[in-house]
Amino acid sequence: MITVSVAGGSQPEILALVKEAHARHENQLKFVVFDTKDNIADETVWEYVQCEDEQEIVKKAVTLVAEGGAQILLKGIIQTHTLLKELLKKEYDLKEKSILSHVAMVDIPATGQSFLLTDCAMNIAPTEESLIKIVENAQGVANKIGLKQPKIALLSAAENFNPKMPSSVLGKAVTEHFAADETSKVFGPISLDLALSKDAVEHKRYEGPIMGDADIIVVPVIDAGNSLYKSLTIFGGAKVGGTIVGTKVPVVLTSRSDSTESKLHSLEFAMKQV
């Protein structure tokens, strides 16, 4: 059984998620909820811990994870920075990598495609060193969910190197860093269509290490990632669920605007990483 520590969870939106999670994963999940609000569910739904304020919420939720009592940390209706600030305190020893990053699982029903997308929510404008760490974080997630030797595409506007285009320069440098890596194929710069569309590859008569079959898409800056993430969900009908990685346990961030289905997709993605 997987235990989920929920910081700020006694809310209707989180209750809907928990009930749906129990329905789909019967006897596989246990939820421990920390909140200052009145408990809105009984012991068959979750274990409830009353807290005095938001600081106590995050302290107890993170402590449960740090002590091994939970395998997933889920943010309910509290401030993201409050939770992450507590999570990163040295006393908990939960930070595993030098950089935290966001990795999302994208499923597109219309095409039947699934791939990982990073980093759309944490790192604003990664340096070469930072992007290397982001790629390594994504490699770790890929391995946990069963993707062996993933093909990792470093996005730019085009597949041809252009020294005047920062994303192109970054893609080329990171590709060279991973040139001898036999655990995955890291390649860039490459455009989105050539990374994910075999029709585009055929039409352009493109040949390269990634030909419409990327397992992981790596964006150069958060602006591109955020736009791509939202375009996929709003216009592409994609199911997208993400976690913060680089810590010893996956961290699920939820928003009031997320649908229950979206929240559940993120939770299920985190379950695969445990």
For range 174-184, the mean pLDDT = 96
| Residue whose pair of structure tokens reads 């997320």 in the numeric block | 258
Contacts of 22 (CB under 8 A, 6+ apart): 29, 45
For range 114-141, the mean pLDDT = 96
Would you state the pLDDT for residue 259? Answer: 85
pLDDT tens digits along 134-162: 999 999 999 999 998 999 999 999 999 99
Q: Which residues pair with 253 in a beta bridge?
A: 75
Q: Please tell me the distance from the alpha carbon of residue 144 to that of residue 151, in angstroms, as a whole number.
A: 15
Give burial (CB, 10 Å; 0-12/13-18/19+) of 41: middle
Would you state the pLDDT for residue 207? Answer: 95
Q: Please tell me the distance from the alpha carbon of residue 246 to that of residue 235, in angstroms, as a whole number.
A: 30
For residues 102 and 218, is the Cβ–Cβ distance under 8 A? no
Would you state the pLDDT for residue 69? Answer: 98
| Residue whose pair of structure tokens reads 């507590």 in the numeric block | 86
DSSP state of 99: S
Q: Please tell me the distance from the alpha carbon of residue 7 to that of residue 274, in angstroms, as a whole number.
A: 19
Pairwise pLDDT comparison (229 vs 152), residue with the higher score: 152
Q: Please tell me the distance from the alpha carbon of residue 140 to that of residue 6, in angstroms, as a whole number.
A: 24
Q: Which residues pair with 48 in a beta bridge?
A: 33
CA dihedral over 231, 75, 115, 185, signed as positive or negative: positive
Would you state the pLDDT for residue 76? Answer: 94
What DSSP element (H or E) covers 143? helix 128-144
pLDDT tens digits along 54-100: 999 999 999 999 999 999 999 999 999 999 999 999 999 999 999 99
Domains of the chain: 2-96+247-273 (3.40.718.10), 103-239 (3.40.718.10)
Would you state the pLDDT for residue 145? Answer: 93
What angle is formed at CA 166 by the lines to CA 220 and CA 230, rounded to 5 degrees? 30
For residues 119 and 134, is the Cβ–Cβ distance under 8 A? yes
Q: With a cut of 80, say whether residue 255 has pLDDT above it.
A: no
What angle is formed at CA 171 by the lines to CA 133 and CA 200, rounded to 5 degrees? 120
Would you state the pLDDT for residue 254? Answer: 81
Would you state the pLDDT for residue 21? Answer: 97
The amino acid at residue 98 is S
Q: Please tell me the distance from the alpha carbon of residue 103 to that of residue 141, in angstroms, as a whole number.
A: 8
Would you state the pLDDT for residue 256? Answer: 74
